């Protein structure tokens, strides 16, 4: 009799440890996701900060390209104003394409293309675009892991009641670089 009690207690203790570690795993993933998100935010802000200078330096050589300037400015303020994840992602993509047009202007103005300040800003901008893309990739990888974890048994049993809900990706724009299949075997 006593033995059975001990066995049951042991099983209960093991189960408790198991669920505790599952719970902690989810919590730490959630924390990583929050950090990943603030990383994206930092990079988006960094890009927004570069834009006024860039626009100024292009204006100095190509005053009459007004539509491009206003597109960039509009996209920038749309992104700064966006609150939701999806809104930010969409505004960010719009800003990227507007900036692409702004940079393309330089092709028609050799003096601008040779301007040291512009060249430097352009380098910084394309680096920041990379940073946005990479922080987004990291964030989406985390979300994928997290959602996968939540969907698997036995997490499915209790995730809702403990407040773990599936999270939204920072939505990929069309033609985003596809994940490469890696085989570690």
Cis peptide bond upstream of 154, omega within 30: yes
Helix, strand, coil tally for the chain in percent (to 5): 80, 0, 20
Q: How far is CA 136 from the centre of its chain?
A: 3
Q: Does 179 interact with another protein (rule: CB under 8 A)?
A: yes
Torsion of CA 74, 80, 84, 88, to 10 degrees: 60
Size of the site for another protein (CB under 8 A): 22
Cα diameter, the chain: 92
83 contacts another protein (rule: CB under 8 A): no
Closer to another protein by CB, 62 or 142: give it: 142
- Say whether residue 49 binds another protein (CB under 8 A): no
Rounded least distance, CB 24 to another protein, Å: 17
Is the Cβ of residue 4 or residue 180 nearer to another protein in the bound state?
180
CB 77 within 8 A of CB 89: no
Q: Under the criterion CB under 8 A, does residue 181 sit at the interface with another protein? A: yes
- Does the protein bind another protein through residue 116 (CB under 8 A)? no
Q: Is 138 in the site for another protein (CB under 8 A)?
A: yes
Q: Which stretch binds another protein (CB under 8 A): 2-10, 59-67, 80-88, 128-136?
A: 128-136
By beta-carbon proximity to another protein, the closer residue of 79 and 132 is 132
Q: How many Cβ atoms are within 10 Å of 88's Cβ, its own excluded? A: 21
């Amino acid at each position: 009799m006593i033995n059975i009690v001990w066995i049951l207690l042991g099983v209960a203790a093991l189960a408790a440890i198991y669920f505790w570690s599952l719970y902690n795993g989810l919590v730490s993933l959630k924390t990583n996701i929050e950090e990943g998100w603030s990383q994206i935010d930092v990079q988006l802000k960094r890009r927004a900060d570069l834009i006024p200078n860039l626009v100024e330096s292009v204006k100095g050589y190509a005053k009459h390209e007004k539509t491009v300037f206003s597109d960039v400015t509009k996209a920038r303020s749309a992104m700064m104003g966006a609150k939701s994840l999806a809104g930010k992602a969409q505004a960010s993509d719009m800003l990227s394409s507007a900036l692409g047009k702004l940079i393309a202007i330089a092709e028609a103005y050799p003096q601008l293309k040779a301007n040291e300040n512009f060249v430097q800003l352009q380098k910084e901008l394309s680096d920041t675009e990379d940073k946005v893309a990479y922080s987004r990739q990291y964030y989406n990888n985390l979300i994928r892991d997290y959602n996968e974890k939540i969907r698997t048994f036995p997490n499915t049993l209790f995730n809702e009641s403990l407040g773990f809900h599936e999270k939204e990706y920072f939505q990929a724009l069309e033609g985003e670089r596809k994940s490469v299949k890696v085989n570690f075997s």
